[in-house]
Amino acid sequence: QVQLVESGGGLVEPGGSLRLSCATSGFTFSDSYMTWIRQTPGKGLEWLSHISGSGSIKHSADSLKGRFTISRDNARDSVYLQMNSLRVEDTAVYYCARGGWTNDYWGQGTLVTVSS
Amino acid sequence: DIVMTQTPLSLHVALGQPASISCRSSQSLVYSDGNTYLSWLQQRPGQPPRLLIEKISNRFSGVPDRFSGSGAGTDFTLKISRVEAEDVAVYYCMQSAQLPRTFGQGTKVEIK
């Protein structure tokens, strides 16, 4: 069965960096777009970025102002989100999801807390 | 960005009764391939979102047939024909016709 497992969240100070990982199984990873979405109590669900199966196509939300970078390793069936210059408002649960248009499978999420 | 507006934001429904949630988009969700990329997600307490319906009305694998989606263009509806206890959740609409993808605010469904 399809599984997506995020990791890498935690507590980080403002201005710091984190790299989130999403390990997948149960489907042909290299054929699938992958997406990162986050959820906060205040702003709800927010789409962040997606990447094509080959990694050649990437799109990200303009609001991130280039601070976050999506990447993937098809040999490891994993997708990543490098987050730099973190702000308090980046505090959220971060989900990876399969698909670039319809997100049919979601991971359990990883909590990122940005605080001093 | 496309704005997704859900109504109501809260719904109290008796067990076995129907429920309906509306979602309106600020622009058409018809994509260049002819599909309309409007999805409905369910998020039970403490759980990640789960896909219920894609492209307006296509139920995802394993979704009970009491859930149905309808609509076109900019107006869409999710219906639950007979609410069950396990349907207590927040429901979101999501558009994938344009970047960035955007979500409705969510509708909380509770049992009366």
Residue B57 has pLDDT above 90, yes or no: yes
How confident is the model over A68-86, as a mean pLDDT? 98
The pLDDT value given to residue A32: 98
- Does B31 touch chain A if contact means CB atoms closer than 8 Å? yes
The pLDDT value given to residue B40: 98
Mutation site for B-interface testing, chosen from A103, A108, A111 by largest number of B Cβ within 10 Å: A103
- Spell out which residues of chain A touch residue B63, defining contact as CB-CB under 8 Å: none
Using alpha carbons, select from A32, A70, A30 the residue that is nearest to residue A50: A70
- The Cα angle at residue A28 between residues A25 and A33, in degrees rounded to 5: 95
Residue A65 has pLDDT above 90, yes or no: no
Q: Nearest 5°: phi and psi at B3?
A: -95, 130
Per-residue tokens: B92:
């979101």
Is B31 in Cβ contact with A101 (below 8 Å)? yes
Place of tokens 């990543």: A80
The pLDDT value given to residue A43: 82
Look over chain B and give the mean of its residue pLDDT values, rounded to a whole number: 97
Look over chain A and give the mean of its residue pLDDT values, rounded to a whole number: 97
